[in-house]
Amino acid sequence: MVRKLMAGLSVAAVLGLAACGGSSGGSGSVLKYPGGGSASAGKTLFLGAGGCSACHTVAGTSAAGQIGPDLSHVGSALTPDQIYTQISDPKPRPAPYATPPRQGVAMPQNSLTTQQRADLTAWLSTLK
């Protein structure tokens, strides 16, 4: 399967992360950011139709949500793969996704396209 080849190709890229892994992943597998995202499209989506700003704050923008983690520096905390994973398969995750969210509210599933998820990832990755 193609996926197997891809996994092989990305091994070198994730070695640094895998080195400190070891615990059984279970539901914690990280998806691969496919690339090709447009940061400007992602910003527009985040602040508008995506609805992300209802829950998340990003300093210097109109996003001031107080329900989920502050994403002002998410590009320093998470890799693009981790950001893409959270957007594609939202759920509470262990560190390094562990910026404490408000109690009792989980990030909802969404029906965004792969391109939209890539756009959001491209923008959020710039937030250092």
Binding site for ligand HEC (CB under 6 A): 46, 50-52, 54-56, 67-69, 71, 74, 77, 83, 86-87, 90-92, 97, 99, 101, 105-108, 110, 120, 124
State how far the Cα of 128 lies from the Cα of 29, in Å rounded to an integer.
24
User: Smallest gap, in angstroms, from Cβ of residue 99 to ligand HEC?
Assistant: 3
State how far the Cα of 127 lies from the Cα of 16, in Å rounded to an integer.
21
Extract the tokens encoding 105: 């509210």
For ligand HEC, the closer of residues 14 and 65 by Cβ is 65
For ligand HEC, the closer of residues 14 and 90 by Cβ is 90
Backbone Cα Rg of the chain = 15
For ligand HEC, the closer of residues 30 and 87 by Cβ is 87
User: Smallest gap, in angstroms, from Cβ of residue 56 to ligand HEC?
Assistant: 5
Cβ(106)–Cβ(93) under 8 Å?
no
CA distance between the termini of the chain: 36
For ligand HEC, the closer of residues 14 and 67 by Cβ is 67
